Amino acid sequence: MPLPRLLSRFRAGLWALVLSLVVGLVWEPAAASASLDNDRYDGNIYALYAGNGSLVPPRSSLAQSLAAHRVAVLVFYLDDSAASKQFSPVVSELQRLWGNRIDLIPLVTDPLQNRPDGGADDPAHYWDGLIPQVVVLDRDGRVVFDRHGQVSVDAINAAVSDATGVPLPPGAGSSATLSFNELNSEVVASR
């Protein structure tokens, strides 16, 4: 390659390097922000606000749970809802306390809207249009608990205990013991 052409390419590469350095020094990336008190989509609310991203997707469907005659706890929510964000630690605590003794089924409600009721094994059958909503079904598929809003973990635990016939597990304390994911609460508080 001739020397003038080589120098021309070198200068073009040098200018591209200088330009990218200047842009890198001047441009500041936006700070990450997540907040419990707005209806903005921040991502998986269970990973962000409850420290438990393993809740979504659920391990079993409602149809599977009913066929196996297991106690099912349906939790209807939206990732872009402040009320659902604030309720997410309760759902994580239910999984911690009850583990494999129940089928915990968190369900985002977007796909359920304006859909015909598909019967008792369809989650849309139990959703009343409000979020968050918790529905506990006993082993026979009967609704034993159905509430929406900021339901206490104590109330849900009592319903699950009745439905399973199992006393509250060790460590099932007061709802006052719930806490948000420590790292993420610091991120939220730093706004």
The answer to the question of residue 11 being in a domain is no
Residues with Cβ within 8 Å of 141's Cβ and at least 6 positions away in sequence, in order, are 66, 120
What does the block give as tokens for 108?
A: 């985002």
State the CATH number of the domain containing residue 124. Answer: 3.40.30.10
The answer to the question of residue 21 being in a domain is no
The answer to the question of residue 88 being in a domain is yes
The answer to the question of residue 62 being in a domain is yes
Cis upstream peptide for 116 (omega within 30°)? no
The answer to the question of residue 4 being in a domain is no
Q: What pLDDT, in 10s, does the model give residues 115-164?
A: 888 899 999 999 999 999 999 999 999 999 999 999 999 999 999 999 99
Residues with Cβ within 8 Å of 147's Cβ and at least 6 positions away in sequence, in order, are 133, 134, 155
The answer to the question of residue 38 being in a domain is no
Q: What percent of the chain has pLDDT over 70?
A: 82
The answer to the question of residue 121 being in a domain is yes
d(CA 133, CA 156): 11
The pLDDT value recorded for residue 48 is 82
The answer to the question of residue 77 being in a domain is yes
Q: What pLDDT, in 10s, does the model give residues 84-117?
A: 999 999 999 999 999 889 999 999 999 988 888 8
In contact, 48 and 42? CB cutoff 8 Å? yes
Q: For Cα atoms 23, 29, 35, give the angle at the middle one, nearest 5 degrees.
A: 170
- Looking at every residue in the chain, the average pLDDT score rounds to 83
Domains held by the chain: number: 1
d(CA 179, CA 182): 8
Stated pTM of the model = 0.75
The range of the structural domain enclosing residue 89 comes to 45-171+179-189
